[in-house]
Amino acid sequence: MSESELYRIGTVAKLTGISVECLRAWERRHGLAPAERDGRTRFYSHDQLKRLEKIKALTEDGHPISSLIELTDEQLAARIGVTRPRVASHRLPQVGLVGPNLLILEQDGGDSDIAEVSHRWIGIDDFVGSRPAERAALDVVAVQIPALSGDALQRIRKAAPDVRVLAVYQFASREALALASTEHGATPLAWPLTWADLMRACATPTGLAAPAGRTAPRRYTDHELVEIAGRARQRGFDAPRHLVALISELNAFTDYATQCLTESNDPELFDRLREDSSYARAQLERALANAMDTRRVPSK
């Protein structure tokens, strides 16, 4: 097989949308080995690329990788396009909530006009031990998993094999994020999030786009940063204005790194840059909060 017919793992990741970490995990766990190796460099064939594209499409449709690995190319092609029935247009998607943070979020958020919460559980054990009829009545379940793990997702998927799963996490490794959708058919969502965002994810068939890696949530919106800088200027206090400028630069760089994730042959590098720059911005936001508190420069 000539090298012109082979694709490096970074190119495969870009063409298929399957992360490098996920491809390596599939190789370790399911034997999806590349066609050839040159030292530590992996090369995939054209046929493997096409097979991975089919697998990617099916995992996005909620099929766990474990259910696809033994299928032939013809069987994979036959499954593509066969999806669960859509939610009837005359009713809202039926949602289950699992976890104290989500239940509190619902209390603060109230009713939604795009999705309806019909069942609630304090923890995963309660959900798994509930009546099968309750779980079967759901279209989607949002589950609080503070440290995203395959074991928790596997329990949820086993208890509700036909229900769309949103995994709301606080901490997660890049590998856990990559495998959440491809291995367990779940959509990961970073906490904190608003009630409106959660309901939007429940109402959208594919959920929200999951970030490639863990990033620190923003403390201030762009509008708030502009207002803080203006109030600091009025009071003759330069430190908040300088911090706002640095934070804005890091926000821009984080957006740039996110864009490069899908355009670069080295997505792992830009994933790390995206994550690190977001945490650097979080440190500066904390410094800004301290500066405002010290000099009583209000944020509103």
Which stretches of the chain are DSSP H helices? 9-16, 20-30, 46-60, 73-79, 100-109, 124-128, 132-136, 150-159, 174-184, 195-203, 222-234, 238-261, 267-295
* Residue 219, token pair as written in the block: 């403390």
- Is 3-79 a domain of CATH 1.10.1660.10? yes
Q: Which amino acid is at 101?
A: N
Q: Distance from first CA to last CA of the chain, Å, rounded?
A: 64
What is the predicted pLDDT for the residue at 3? 47
Tell me how far apart the alpha carbons of residues 30 and 10 are, in angstroms, rounded to a whole number: 20
CATH topology of domain 94-203: Rossmann fold (3.40.50)
What is the predicted pLDDT for the residue at 128? 94
Tell me how far apart the alpha carbons of residues 227 and 238 are, in angstroms, rounded to a whole number: 14
In this structure, are residues 192 and 258 in contact, taking their beta carbons and an 8 Å threshold?
Answer: no
What is the predicted pLDDT for the residue at 147? 92
Pairing of strands 36-38, 41-45: antiparallel
- Cα–Cα nearest to 156, from 171, 146, 166: 166
pLDDT for 25-39, tens place per residue?
888 878 888 888 877
The mean predicted confidence, pLDDT, of the chain is 81
97: part of which helix (H) or strand (E)? strand 94-98
Write down the pTM of the prediction: 0.49
pLDDT for 156-184, tens place per residue?
988 988 788 999 999 988 888 878 877 78
Q: In what order do the strands lie in the sheet with 186-190?
A: 116-121, 94-98, 140-147, 164-171, 186-190
What is the predicted pLDDT for the residue at 294? 63
Omega before 161 within 30 of 0, i.e. cis: no
Q: Can you give the residue ranges of every domain in the chain?
A: 3-79, 94-203, 222-295
Distance of CA 156 to the CA centre of its chain: 17
Mean pLDDT of 112-138: 89
DSSP string across 22-35 = HHHHHHHHH----S
What is the predicted pLDDT for the residue at 130? 92
In this structure, are residues 14 and 265 in contact, taking their beta carbons and an 8 Å threshold?
Answer: yes
Comparing 96-100, 200-204, 245-249, the range with the smallest average pLDDT is 200-204
3-state SS assignment for residue 265: coil
